[in-house]
Structure 1
Amino acid sequence: MAVKKEHTFTYKDISDRKRKNLAILDCVRRKGPLSRTDISRETGINIVSVSNYVMNYIKKGLVLEWGLDTSTGGRRPELIKLNLESAYVAGLDIGSEKLIAVIADLGLKIKSKVVAPRPEGSMDKVMEAATAVLEKTIKEFKRPISDIKLIGVGASGIVDIYSGTIRDTNPTRGMTKTNLFNLARLLENKFNVV
């Protein structure tokens, strides 16, 4: 696997297996329910490989067998559909005026949302408030935290790729800087999201 380092960002080439995983799951997400044959046709991955991947997804609960399609001759093909509630993602938006935290299923249907005003003062205060907003959203979620598989963070400001910081651009708050690149990882560790 080739790794390329550019400033504070690291890029990794993904393996053929991961590429196929993403292609199949994305195809099922966008166009499902589909038969294994349809998935093979859409992705260009051979039918045997598609069947092996799909069986693995069924065991993990990522996809569901959704019923039978109409036959074009021979056995009726089984339809595969993404299990939208097999995993959830959390998102945190640190905006210029407010903080928004959401939890959504794999179909991007929002299950929990909390909005709070952005506090005045240093970025440390903003980070504390953002963490509290996310914590409240997780409490309102009413499902085990282990169902959340990813936390994504977005922030308003100017990204400085050389120092790994984001500069706040609101003139009333001043040009404060903070390192938000590791915030998602820190939040994932705090809330035991893996």
Structure 2
Amino acid sequence: GSSRIEVIKSIVYGGLTESVTSLSIISSAAGGGASTLNVLALGAANLIGGLIILFHSLWELKNDLPEEELVIQISDQTAANGKDRYKELLGQRKNFAIHFTVSLLSFIVFGLVPLVAYGFSFRESDDRELKVVVTGSVSLVCILLLSIAHAYVMPPPKPYLNSISTFVVLGFAVSGISYGAGVLFQRLIDGLGLF
């Protein structure tokens, strides 16, 4: 029913952006030549900082008035389209505690997946490139699953192909660009002899 849809919406809300963000942080740090420990420290710091942003975003979303109510407060003569971002993204406001908890857990789980994949893959050789490939692959599976869930909770017709292609391409692009930027930045710093 609708409560299942709201839980899925909360999972997507908490997990999708963090999957892409964690992948980006790890890719750029690894591309820049950071040690495994430093990559994990940066990823963990990003996750902790992201929690504060998630708290703020959820709280702000909860306290935003639907456009309909806002328009009624401004002028009784203005027509509104009745859009409620909270309802669109998460569901009914009365279920805020559930939305908050599920979004938080999703954020943590999907934010930790790339960290765990990077930290525990190729521990013997510590091959940075292979670690990034494993991390990228695992993260893209998470992004794929979350993008399917994102399309599932949308009204018909379900935009599965659009959702999957958008977020998977975004994940590939973010990972590749971040890794490349890390490599180039390291070369620049080394070339300038700054550190």
TM-score of the aligned structures, taking structure 1 as reference length: 0.29
Higher RCO, 1 vs 2 (CA within 8 Å, ≥6 residues apart): 2
Choose 1 or 2 for highest CA Rg: 1
Structure with the bigger percentage of strand: 1
TM-score of the aligned structures, taking structure 2 as reference length: 0.29
